[in-house]
Amino acid sequence: MPPRPLYRPVVDPHTSRAFGRPDGVDGSFTAPADRTSDGLPSSPPPDPMLAEAFGRPPGATESLMREPTDDGPAEEIPAPVDPWRDPAAPVTSVFPAEVPPDPVPLAPGEKLGVREVLFGRRVGARALAALAAVALVIGLLGGVVGSIAADLGGSLTSSRVTLAQEGSDLPPGQVTRVAEAVLPSVVSVQETFGENAGTGSGVVVDGAGYIVTNNHVISMAATNPDATLSVTFSDGTKVPARIVGRDTKTDLAVLSTDVAGLTVAQLGRSEDVQVGDDVVAVGSPLGLSKTVTRGIVSALDRPVRLSGEGTDTDAVIDAVQTDAAINPGNSGGPLVDAEGRVIGINSAIRSESGGSVGLGFAIPIDDVTEVVQSLIRTGSMTHPDIGVTARTVVNDALSGARVANVTAGGPAQQAGIVEGDVIVRVGNRSVSGADELVVAVQEQQIGQSIPVQVVRSGRTVDITVTPTSDA
């Protein structure tokens, strides 16, 4: 196929006049007039003022530079005459520009005295004497102060120190008087069964010979007809004892003896007990009778579970916590306030080693009074019950007692409590665990309706329950 024809656009006359070749020119543009015949550019003539300032002198034909083809000897430049300008010049001595004049001898001066040397000028005799007196006084004072400072700082002993002592926070002899008042009413309790023996404490609560102790102290004797039980009084008298009644749910028991004229302990009230009160624990720890230890009330309303091997006690008490030293053998003995009143029955300690670490627990005296009164009158004790067993639950959402089992036909089932409900309040008391649920229910009255708050499927439900007797 032949090539396409060359397309040349039409150029209008105006564009041709503006961008076309000049008239009479047919080819490319010709060389300008300042170009030589060989096509190389030529330099324009220099400016007359520059040529006059920097040009060669008139008539000079030599160049300021030697041409590369010039092999003639180079002109030697003579060495400078000034040694300061010649780095290779040797060191030579020079003379100063101006000779200093000879020093003028000074006239001999007047000799200085002591006053001129010390004070810089002459001082009168009176002023000099006054200054000497002041200096003497200052020296004496400095010596005294230095002696005192040396006495205080240079010796480890001092006759000027007197140590201050403060008395007890209790009145003088108060603990002694409390011990003297309580010790005659405290007894040691011994039980023996074959080769097995146990020791505890007790306290006389009635002149007819009634003695309160813990159920776990006499549990072995109560469950074994062949076991023997005896008590020893503070004067050393040892007599047999009988069990009047016991309550496994509060770990309390009442004994009876035929001894008359006993010293009876004074009982206090739980409402008068405050955290921080001074208390005294009395008993027979580790078989050491008439032992007295002192401490304070560390906490109140502390739910503590009491149970163990060798005893049928299964109790939860709302304990009085104390840091008074309590050891095995103190169980059943009294916890006494600063006025000599029994405010609790020592029952348990919490310890990793088995010895006292300042965590002792006593049954509150109000609970003791109620249970002991019932045991003395009827030989037994009943407690309110709502018919549930529970386990402690603690998580980010709540803490309480999760119902694990509901007694068929019991008060809880009749009120609508079901398994899985979490009980968080009984009456006016918050419940944070299974043990606290037990003590909260035991505070109620049999046959009297109480509000119970439960959490069910994330919702709070208020239920009314009427406790019944556990008998």
Which of 185, 284, 298, 331 is the catalytic position?
331
Please tell me the distance from the alpha carbon of residue 399 to that of residue 440, in angstroms, as a whole number: 15
**In sequence order, which ranges of 79-198 are alpha helices (DSSP H)?**
114-119, 125-153, 174-182
| Beta strand residue intervals within 81-237, DSSP E | 186-193, 196-206, 210-214, 228-232
Alpha-carbon torsion angle 462, 463, 466, 467, nearest 10 = -80
Number of helices and strands (H, E) in the chain? 9, 22
In this structure, the number of other CB atoms found within 10 A of the CB of residue 414 comes to: 14
Concerning whether 216 is annotated as a catalytic residue, the answer is: yes
Please tell me the distance from the alpha carbon of residue 241 to that of residue 190, in angstroms, as a whole number: 9
Concerning whether 26 is annotated as a catalytic residue, the answer is: no
* Contact partners, residue 456, CB within 8 Å, separation at least 6: 418, 420, 421, 422
Which of 185, 188, 201, 251 is the catalytic position?
251
Short-list 303, 429, 439, CA closest to 361: 303
**How remote is the C-alpha of 15 from its chain's centroid?**
97
Q: Residue 182 corresponds to which tokens in the numbers above?
A: 């309580």
Which of 201, 216, 323, 337 is the catalytic position?
216
257 and 243 Cβ atoms separated by less than 8 Å:
no
Q: Residue 42 corresponds to which tokens in the numbers above?
A: 């030529």
Short-list 332, 312, 313, CA closest to 250: 313
Q: Residue 133 corresponds to which tokens in the numbers above?
A: 């007196």
Please tell me the distance from the alpha carbon of residue 248 to that of residue 470, in angstroms, as a whole number: 12
* Contact partners, residue 255, CB within 8 Å, separation at least 6: 189, 202, 210, 211, 212, 213, 218, 229, 231, 241, 242, 243, 244
Concerning whether 251 is annotated as a catalytic residue, the answer is: yes
Catalytic amino acids? 216, 251, 331
